[in-house]
Amino acid sequence: MLHVDPDINQFVQDCFEEALAGYSPLHDHTIHLRRKYLKDMTMRAQPMVNGGFFRKSARAYRVDIQDHTRINESVRVPDLPQRVLVGWFAHELGHVMDYHQRSWSNLIKFGLGYLLFPTFRVGAERKADLYAIEYGFAEAITATKEFLLTESSIPNSYKNRLTRYYMTPEEVEIMVKKRESGTIFRDRII
């Protein structure tokens, strides 16, 4: 069940719905898309801490977005190309898929690890991308990464941070190929 704040732009909502449609395990869960000022990020996905938090089956999730990208006030989220925005949401929902598999105590450990250890963050970001690839968004997340890495108005410091914490488009391609060859292998043994 999707709840969208009324001040979310229709195009942004459409892109979010397109990404969410691909993640069938999340369709029974409450997902809240909220516009919010975020200090040092453009988007974030979190489990909602309420009565449902303690039971995986009842857990609700929230994706916060702000109007502009954190990278550059002049790059506005509603102006991003459609594939780029769908890919970005596919990554955020990849985090939700990761949370979805975790118990509440594991989620608390995860939250602390993310805050305290940079290497933990690298693992979490890769996991979100791997879910996106698994659910058919390889092309969209590649579009997002290529846009952020090549757009001239985006500062180099941000591009460096991206390559430090996130999979590069080349790594996504390698993961897709590995997955494809894995599928062929499974087919052969069956």
Binding residues for Zn ion, per CB under 5 A? 125, 128
Residue number with CB closer to Zn ion (10 or 32): 32
Shortest approach of Zn ion to residue 181 CB, angstroms? Answer: 26
Shortest approach of Zn ion to residue 97 CB, angstroms? Answer: 12
Residue number with CB closer to Zn ion (12 or 90): 90
String of DSSP letters for 89-120: HHHHHHHHHHHHTS-HHHHHHHHHHHHH-HHH
CA–CA gap between residue 109 and residue 167 (Å, rounded) = 23
Residue number with CB closer to Zn ion (22 or 180): 22
CA–CA gap between residue 104 and residue 113 (Å, rounded) = 14
Shortest approach of Zn ion to residue 189 CB, angstroms? Answer: 34
- Comparing C-alpha atoms, which of 181, 184, 165, 3 is closest to residue 91? 165
* 43 close to 92: Cβ distance less than 8 angstroms: yes
Shortest approach of Zn ion to residue 128 CB, angstroms? Answer: 5
Residue number with CB closer to Zn ion (28 or 91): 91
* 168 close to 145: Cβ distance less than 8 angstroms: yes
